[in-house]
Structure 1
Amino acid sequence: MVDGDHVNLSHGEFHGNVVGKEVHIHAAPSPTALSALPAAPAVFTGRAAEVAELSRALDPDIGDGSESVVISAVAGLGGVGKTALALHVAHKARGKGWFPGGALFVDLRGYDKVPVTAEQAVSSLLQALGVADADLPPTPEEQYGRYRAELSSREPVLIVLDNACDPAQIAPLLPGEGAGHRVLVTSRDVQDSLPVRQFRVDALTPEASRELIDRSLRRNDPDDDRVSKERAAIDRLTELCGRLPLALLIASALLRKRRRRQASTLTAELQGATDRVLALHLERGVDQYGKQLSLRPVFDLSYARLEPELARVFRLLGLAPGDDIGAGPAAELTELPPEHLEPLLDELVAASLLTALPGGDRWRMHDLVREFARAVVAEEPELRDEADKARIRLLGHYFVRTFNATALFPQPSANAPDDYFDDPARAESWLDSEITGLVAAAQWTDTENDVLAWTAMLLGLHLDGYLRHRRAFRVMATVSAVACHAAHRLGYAEGEAQAYNAHGNALRGLWRYEEGAEAFRQALALYEQLGDLDGQAMTWNNLGLTLRALDRYDDAIDAYGKSARLYAELGGQARANVVRGNLGLALEGSGRLDEAHAVLQAALARHLESGDRNGEARVQASFGVLYGSLGRHTESLDAIMRSLALYEELGDWYSRAQALPLLGFALSDLKAHEEALAAHTYARDWFRRFNDGHKEATAWDCMGAELMLLRRIPEAMSAAQRALQLYEACEDLDSAARLRNYIDTVHELLRIAQA
């Protein structure tokens, strides 16, 4: 499979008046049975929808017959396989007998330094149609007329104009009169000025990409089974190639060259390459059409055609963090007003260097094109300076809006700024739409430009609350780790302490409790050096939560006690009361039930006194746990029901979902197993709605336990298996190991019972 942008189709030679250019064109001498198509691509995969759609455009039996000539144009990024698709469809059409008048093919070499002109092409087309050199009309206009006249008297002919860059190359070569002729054009540019049926070709699917590599390897050696044996490495390789056919063919050639080595070696090399586009290159060797297998020249030619202002916009958009970019960030990067920028974005979309996403206000650049744009910037000092300034502008844009959005979201504060967002829903929507770019930009700290590093670090710190709310703990761990290193390098102790706190919370969310506890200790040491009592109080509470998860109740009690005392000293009674509620649960876990009861009673009284309904709901849930441990199951059920009602009244549906498993446990203690199963099932549905895979796993786990008590063993084992899958997906290895042992034990007991 090849892209016409790179295919050498040289078998015949052009003999017309050409300056500085040798034009090669396929043509047969017979004027009655043209067969000038190059060979079909040796390896062609995927594209079923594109083949079907393009075939319909060529099918003479489709349509009302009002169009004697149908022109179809296939546009797409260089290397995406436009010519391969065109040739595949053209051969398929010829095989069906659709074009008894024959087929013509000309490579217009539109992206070479000196493209073929229509004037040069028509002379060779006339020769292919049987017009001798001596009979060629003297002027281009007369040659175009003779060309149209030759086609008008023929049965339907398929004309493939490959690799066009300009409508001026195409228009003179279109047939005039005649019935059933079809023209198929390939170009990197959308042909929006001509009356064509426009098709767009994108990268291959993961499955087709994998198949392309497999077929390429097995064509060379039928026993080459690396694709089936190294599925993960091959899939990663196709991602690194951007699923771009030319890149995949280069990777396949490199794999064939290293036949005795594992595919994972090439995957590792590309993953570690400083310039992946440059690395996708075969030093010696060509494809089936004689073209060198190299990606960088393809992009170089597209870039070279851009006007200076458009080239600048292209380079700067290549700096965009994340997978896509919105109109606002694009305007900041390019320093252009929207009314000036949008036509330029349209130009880049038409040139297949950018993709407009549904909705009309976001754009995406292909992964390898982005790599190329950044490489262009890295190669010239003045462009690097331009890029740094653009990044600083974008970071400023992101930081100000993130600061405003996170002040409103998820709980608006009394003094929340509303410069950009007038309500939490709007703030949340903006964060959701920009989060990929925000996270990537927050990692722009590895730079000698301190302004850039500082702003990126601060952005990362301000994303903490949003990421925690979204339970994006893996992302949060990455962003906070970057912020830790950046703050330390910049000598910003307060920011480093905040980053370690965020990192600890992320690790706790990932069930990496020991690492989380160490991060909190790092934060404590920094807060103590700074004399920041509020930071110390917050961190002691976070450490207590982590230690309680490790069942280190005495240490957790000590941490909670320090946090509560510090908050009390600072006059933060509301926060001190939250910590006392946590302390009550730690006391319950350690078996000090009477002390736990006293602490929770005092906390409840303070919440009632202050009117803190959320705090009241939390303490009622804690009472549910405590009464269960005391064997006071009816009181446990009552307390949990009060908690659920309060959360519903507050509209805090996630906290309500978290209380539902407690309801299940209380009902189970009362031997109401059907009702307990219903509570855990309800919790599962809520956690699935919140996209919280770990808590959904826990709900399935609890459902399995209740089903086992109900002696519905097949259902119980099915629930346990589902819980195991989710635990493994969340990388909670301890819970997965525990459940796997349980499942194995039950299966063994069932086997013994049946023996």
Structure 2
Amino acid sequence: MQQWAVLRGDEWWAGPVGDGDHIDMRGSTFYGPVTGKSESSRAAPSPTALSALPAAPAVFTGREDEVAELLGALDPGVGGGSESVVISAVSGLGGVGKTALALCVAHAARGRGWFAGGALFVDLRGYDDVPVTADQAVLALLRALGVGDADLPPTADEQYARYRAELSSREPVLIVLDNASDPAQIAPLLPGEGGGHRVLVTSREVQDSLPVRQFRVDGLTPDASRDLIDRSLRQYEPGDRRVTDEPEAVRQLAELCGHLPLALLIVSALLRRRRQRPVSTLVGELRVAEDRVQALRAKGVDQYGKELSLRPVFDVMYARMEPELARVFRLLGQAPGDSIELKVAGTLTWLERERLEPFLDELAAVSLLTPLPGGGRWVMHDLVRVYARLVAVEDPGVHEDVAQARRRLLKFYVKLLASAKTHVEGIAEEEPQNYFNTRERAVAWLDSERTGLLEICHWTDGDDKGRPDSLLIALYLDSYLLLRRAFDDWATVTKAAYEAACRVHDSWAEARTSDAHGLALFLLRRFEEAETAHRRALRLSEDSGDAEVQTMAWDHIGITLVALRRYDDAIDAHTRSARIAAKAGLVRHASNARVNLGAALGSAGRMEEAQDAFEEALAVHVELGDKRGEIAARDGLGTILFKLGRHEEAVTAFVHALGLCAESGDWHRRANIWNNLGRTWRKLGLHDEALGAHIRALNWYVFFRDRLGETSARANIRAALLQLDRTKDAQSVRRQALDLYRKFGDDPNITELPNTHP
């Protein structure tokens, strides 16, 4: 009979196989085969469930989609359980909440009854000064599996084999490998045999060398950011109502944090420490901080023992970069706006596309850039951009490289923006360097670069010698911002441009930017301020003898005076503008002034004179091939003909102007003309046609967010409905129109852009 023997401590126990009695065999002689097993004083690992997961995050919100997607990847039932191991890797910027997401998902999976074999967790500390190696991690995992020190194999290879053997005998196990920085930390820890095991990895870097399903995690939405702050405060003190009481301050605070969960948890900790102070005080401190990344730190550690400080997270990533990659990172951080075009990246780095793209790919792989769909554009997180600029400032050795990059970018934008402006104004054939084939492409480029262009208007060229390129960019943006009716933005950039011109004592630029600022103020209905800015431009241009700016300033003063109902003064101003332009040979400027003179004469009731002014201007614009000027002249002429009761002629003028608008893409003026055409058709008794015209105008006004135009269109729709005996509908529209009048002003006539000068 085969016998067995077991070493327990320092005593042998033996007996026949299958016999339940234990026999003391010390000092015995064995005859026949004996099976021996060494057993330590610690119990052998049991194939029952185990859990080594840290607690789920105490405050977690805004990741519903990510949680659902990860749970779908971890589900042991997916694929019929045929796979032995499925690996999911979560990547993202440091501080984006990868660990919290992984632990939330792991606990949810366990709560569903998955992974009956248990769950294991190890923090690989991949971005610490001394990361955890796979050799160290496997020891921790073996101990979690119940393997005592006395039973650990002597070599690393044997330990990995034992680890895989332990897993192979278990039901499905979830293994969470947190904070990995190198595939070498992960690969040896993957299970071998056994079905249904799942591995969940978190890392700041994409794990593209391993057979993983990759997930990328970005910042939270504004609503989720607000909820995270609110829950963090109320968990500490349920009665804390600051988020509810200061919604705008909380919104700004979340923006300053870039909606990054670590930053949001830091400001929450700061608010808990200063629980008697409003949120707005912290917003003010962060807004003026020289180093916002460094300012985002709080005392203590988080739930998982991690430091509540943002800068060390970024410092580690920067320190890991090779010198060339670090240079590209610093220079890309100088890009304005919320995204970086490939041409902008090339201009900043002075690298050809073939050399540049591998660096962009590498920065994306380590979560410092995010490629946008469609290719050709990347996003750098706001706080990462702040950090990139900071390290460039802190290192004197890179200052000149950065300064040259910024100058190159300014000149790049000046060239492209000058070309785009000609397309927006419909005079691209006059531009010797045409970078855009069509107006649509020019406008699309402006739309994509809008945020960056607005930011770059506030740059200086460093030494402020000569005319700053940032000033020219502000001036070249006028036509585009008018097209997009971004009057607040235009007022902001023209003010910055005027200040830049004063700083470098450029009298021409002072006059031109002051005039542009006045026009922006006019469109914001700040008429007295607008007149002041235009008269300042006039004084400056008279001192320098600049006839062109004098012409524009007088014309814009006239437009403002019409809005202030000072019609005689307005007529005088437009007359002066036309006279100065004609004397200087500025034919288009003179004709523009005649268009605006016609409008002023019409407002003063001098209809025949107004008609003459419009017809004279129309002839000049047709001869010049200036479609914008022709549209304005035909629209103005139609308005005067309407007032004179010559409605059929007015319709002809309006319809002709509509066709020109379609050719030039001047959709906002087209809305005004539809509105005028509808009024004219009503006078002719064509009420159905009139209603259709006013509805077209309303749709365009709503599209352009022109509330005054919308008000006028609704008032006209009401009139058309009344003429069609649709009284109930008319009452509803009247209420909407009155609400808009009360909110946005009582003069629906100032909805049209003035006939400005190129």
Normalising by the smaller structure, the TM-score range is 0.7 to 0.9
Deviations 1:58-107 (A, max 9, x none): 11111243311111111111111101111011011111121111111100
With over 3 angstroms needed to count, the CA separation of the structure-2 counterparts of 1:637 and 1:456, relative to structure 1, is closer
- Alpha-carbon deviation of 1:433? 2.5
Shift in alpha-carbon separation, 1:428–1:618, aligned structure 2, 3 A: closer
Secondary structure of residue in 2 paired with 1:450: coil
Distance 1:613 1:420 in 2: 22
Residue 230 of structure 1, CA deviation = 1.8
3-state SS in 1 of match to 2:290: coil
For the residues of structure 2 that align with 1:133 and 1:529, how far apart are their CA atoms? 91
The aligned counterpart of 1:92 is: 108
Provide the rounded CA distance (Å) in 1 between the counterparts of 2:110 and 2:600.
Answer: 78
How far apart in 1 are the matches of 2:740 and 2:208? 49
1:609 positional shift: 7.2
* Mapping for residues 149-548 of structure 1, pairs under 5 Å: 149-282=165-298, 284-418=299-433, 420-445=435-460, 448-450=462-464, 454-548=468-562
Q: Distance in 1 between matches of 2:662 and 2:349?
A: 47
Residue 72 of structure 2 aligns to which amino acid in structure 1? R
Which amino acid in structure 2 is aligned with residue 206 of structure 1?
Answer: P
Residue in structure 1 matched with residue 598 of structure 2 by the alignment: 584
Q: How does 1:121-140 map to 2 (within 5 A)?
A: 121-140=137-156
> How far off its partner does 1:672 sit?
5.2
Displacement of 1:697 after TM fit?
A: 4.2
Unpaired runs of at least 5, structure 2? 1-43, 751-758
CA distance in 1 between partners of 2:244 and 2:732 (Å):
30
| Identity across the alignment (%) | 58
Other structure's SS at 1:116 match: coil
Q: State how far apart, in whole Å, the 2-side matches of 1:702 and 1:322 are.
A: 41
> Residue 636 of structure 2: which of 622, 631, 651 is its match?
622
Amino acid at match of 2:508: E
**Alignment-mate amino acid for residue 546 of structure 1:** T
TM-score by length of 1: 0.88
Deviations 1:286-342 (A, max 9, x none): 222232211111111121111111111111111110001111110111121111111
Please say if residues 111 and 163 of structure 1, whose CA atoms lie closer than 8 Å, have aligned partners that are also in contact. Answer: yes
Q: Given the superposition, is the C-alpha separation of residues 202 and 641 from structure 1 closer, same or farther in structure 2, using an over 3 Å criterion?
A: closer
Distance 2:498 2:513 in 1: 5
In the alignment, the residues of structure 1 paired with residue 143 and residue 622 of structure 2 have an alpha-carbon distance, to the nearest angstrom, of 96
- Could you say which residue in structure 2 is the equivalent of 1:62? 78
User: Which stretch shows the higher mean deviation, 451-460 or 394-403?
Assistant: 451-460
Q: CA deviation at 1:724?
A: 6.9
1:219-262 deviation line (CA, Å, top 9, x unaligned): 11222122222222212211111111111111111111122222
- 8 Å CA contact 2:694, 2:716 repeated in 1: yes
Contact in 2 for aligned 1:392/1:451 (Cα 8 Å): no
Matched, 1:656 2:670: yes
TM-score, normalization: structure 2? 0.87
**Distance in 2 (alpha carbons) for counterparts of 1:467 and 1:652:** 13
Change (3 A) 1:358 1:676: same
Shift in Å, 1:504: 1.8
> Which stretch of structure 1 is more off in the superposition, 132-141 or 679-688?
679-688
Structure 2 Cα separation of the partners of residues 604 and 184 of structure 1: 72
Aligned residue for 1:753?
none
Distance 2:602 2:556 in 1: 18
Q: Which moved more, 1:304-313 or 1:70-79?
A: 304-313
Which residue in the other structure is 1:747 paired with? none
Q: 1:196-226: CA deviations, max 9, x gaps? A: 1111111111221111111111111222122
The offset of 1:727, in angstroms, is 7.5
Partner of 1:558: 572
- Equivalent AA in structure 2 for residue 591 of structure 1: G
Offset, 1:465: 2.7
Distance 1:423 1:507, change over 3 A: same
Contact 1:442–1:479, Cα closer than 8 Å, also in 2: yes
| Partner residue in 1 for 2:30 | none
Contact 2:425 2:628 in 1 (8 A): no
- Kept after mapping to 1: 8 A contact 2:601/2:609: yes
Give the C-alpha shift of residue 500 in structure 1: 1.5
- Tell me if the contact between 1:480 and 1:502 (Cα under 8 Å) persists in the aligned partners: yes
CA distance in 2, matches of 1:593, 1:388: 58
Contact 2:45–2:147 at 8 Å: present in 1 too? no
1:725 CA drift (Å): 7.4
Identify if the C-alpha distance between structure 1 residues 396 and 84 changes in structure 2 by more than 3 Å, giving closer, same or farther. same
Counterpart of 1:52? 68
Contact 1:332 1:397 in 2 (8 A): yes
Query: Does structure 1 retain, via aligned residues, the 8 Å contact 2:419–2:428?
Result: no
Aligned residues: 708
Deviation at 1:166, TM superposition (A): 0.2
Deviation at 1:735, TM superposition (A): 5.6
Query: Aligned to 2:81, what secondary structure does the other structure show?
Result: coil
Is this contact kept in 1: 2:262–2:310, CA < 8 A? yes
Letter of the 1:274 counterpart: E
Task: Write the distance in 1 (CA, Å) between the matches of 2:297 and 2:322.
Answer: 27
Measure, in 2, the Cα distance between the counterparts of 1:607 and 1:320: 41
Structure 1's 131 and 598: CA in aligned 2 closer, same or farther, altered over 3 A?
A: closer
Report if aligned partners of 1:608, 1:616 keep a CA contact under 8 Å in 2: yes
Q: Compute the displacement of 1:463 (Å).
A: 2.2
Matched position secondary structure for 1:43: coil
Residue from 143, 159, 164 that aligns with 1:148:
164
Quote how far apart the aligned CAs of 1:690 are.
Answer: 5.2
Match for residue 72 of structure 1 among 60, 67, 88? 88
Partner amino acid for 1:682? Answer: R
1:454/1:645 Cα in 2 relative to 1: closer, same or farther (>3 Å)?
closer
> Separation in 2 of the partners of 1:362 and 1:721?
46
Distance 1:292 1:626 in 2: 72
How much has 1:435 moved relative to structure 2? 2.6
Partners in 2 of 1:615 and 1:399 — Cα distance?
A: 26
Match of 2:23 in 1: none
- Give CA-to-partner distance per residue, 1:433-481, whole Å, 9 cap, x none: 3232222222102x64226971222222222233223322222211111
CA distance in 1, matches of 2:235, 2:662: 63
What CA distance in whole angstroms lies between the structure 2 residues aligned with 1:452 and 1:309?
33
Map of 1:752 onto structure 2: none
C-alpha contact 1:511 1:732 (8 A) present in aligned 2: no
- SS across alignment from 1:63: helix
Between the aligned partners of 1:612 and 1:103, the Cα distance in structure 2 is 74
| Secondary structure at the counterpart of residue 471 of structure 1 | coil
Kindly tell me: are residues 342 and 35 of structure 1, through their superposed partners in 2, closer, same or farther at Cα, counting changes over 3 Å?
same
Conserved? CA contact 2:548–2:586, under 8 Å: no
**Could you tell me how far 1:268 is from its partner in structure 2?**
2.4
The offset of 1:688, in angstroms, is 4.0
- Which AA in structure 2 matches 1:63? G
Kept in 2: contact 1:444–1:453 (CA 8 A)? no
Deviation of 1:387 (Å): 1.8
Q: CA contact under 8 A between 2:598 and 2:613: conserved in structure 1?
A: yes
Contact 1:29 1:127 in 2 (8 A): no
- CA 1:607–1:113 in 2, change beyond 3 Å: closer, same or farther? closer
Residues 705 and 225 (structure 1 numbering): CA distance in 2 closer, same or farther, change over 3 Å?
farther
1:662-701 equivalences in 2 (<5 Å)? 662-670=676-684, 673-689=687-703, 692=706, 694-701=708-715
